[in-house]
Amino acid sequence: MSYRAACLSHFSVEENQSSFVSGQNFSVECLRSDGSSSHKIESTHESILVVSEVAITLIFKDGSTHIPQRSLVIIPEGQYEISFSAKGRVFALTTGRVDLKQLLDQSQNDSEHAQSDPRVKPIGQPFGQSENAEKGIRVYAVDDIPHPVGNPRLKFFQTSTMSINWVEYHGPRTRTKLSPHSHEDFEQGSLAISGAFIHHLRTPWGPNADDWREDQHLAAPPDSLLVTPPEIIHTTEGTDHGHSTLIDVFAPPRRDFIAKGWMHNAADYVDPEDAASNDEEA
């Protein structure tokens, strides 16, 4: 088995610019403004906006809404304009960008990750919305969201096609309590928002020694995204003595986290696999 390497990419820090990194099923765009410019995004699926440091106005076909800083926003499919109240950046996480081909041409990560990896499970049929789900734009004040029991550093959210772990803590991560693991059939994006991190990566040894790789220990500052392919053993160590925020990105949504009751907004969605199972039983 030949293993694809993990790819650490860095977003542009130039003002009034956007930069883009893509995994196989998801993309992350960093949108920057000095407060005088705006950006547009359009997707055929729900998208997530990480609004961590500056308030924005989200403008859409039928109106607009104010989004305060320290918010996570889930927006329905469609076209939106993001207007900034001051200098800062917002990250847009999507699985259905309309302008994907154009963005791939200017992507910050290498061409290897534009190729299809048969091990990565496709998104498949998107999750449906439950009857009681709030319609339209949903804004979550991150500081008001409780941690799941047993996960004091993490908060979990999903859309119809993806999910994220919002990881946040103060001070360095305890080096004796890291969590090396691998995923069989999906990629993981690790988006550094604040602080400093080291991504530790180990490629399993297969029968062909020519495919073996040395362990990697990649320093990851804010405005970086690591895309880790299936089967690569990985863990992330926060090294900053101040505040650290990391967003883990998955597509399709993590059904194992939903089953454990960790996903904050899971009640807004209906899993198509569960619906199909219920139909068969009926």
DSSP character string of 84-98: ESSSEEEEEEES-BT
Return the DSSP state at 177: G
Give domain limits for the chain. 7-278
pLDDT, position 111: 45
Q: Where are the alpha helices (DSSP H) in 198-245?
A: none
Q: How many CB atoms lie within 10 A of CB 282?
A: 5
Paired tokens of 273:
């696999």
| Domain at 7-278, CATH class | mainly beta
pLDDT of the chain along its 282 residues, tens only? 567 889 999 999 999 999 999 999 999 999 999 999 999 999 999 999 999 999 999 999 999 999 999 999 999 999 999 999 999 999 999 999 988 877 877 777 754 555 689 999 999 999 999 999 999 999 999 999 999 998 999 999 999 999 999 999 999 999 999 999 999 999 999 999 999 999 999 999 989 998 899 999 999 999 999 999 999 999 999 999 999 999 999 999 999 999 999 999 999 999 999 866 665 555
What distance lies between CA 66 and its chain's CA centroid?
22
Question: CA 101, CA 251: separation in Å to the nearest integer?
Answer: 19
Q: Residue 122's pLDDT is what? A: 96
Q: What residue has token string 């650290």?
A: 244
pLDDT value at residue 211: 86
Q: How far apart are CA 160 and CA 140, in angstroms?
A: 16
Q: Are 99 and 27 a contacting pair, CB within 8 Å?
A: no
- Residue 149, classified by CB atoms within 10 Å of its CB into exposed (0-12), middle (13-18) or buried (19+), is exposed
The position carrying tokens 């061409």 is 111
- How many Å apart are CA 17 and CA 38, to the nearest integer? 10
Indicate the pTM of the whole model.
0.94
For residue 73 the two structure tokens come to 């926003």
Cis status of the peptide bond prior to 252, with omega within 30 of 0? yes
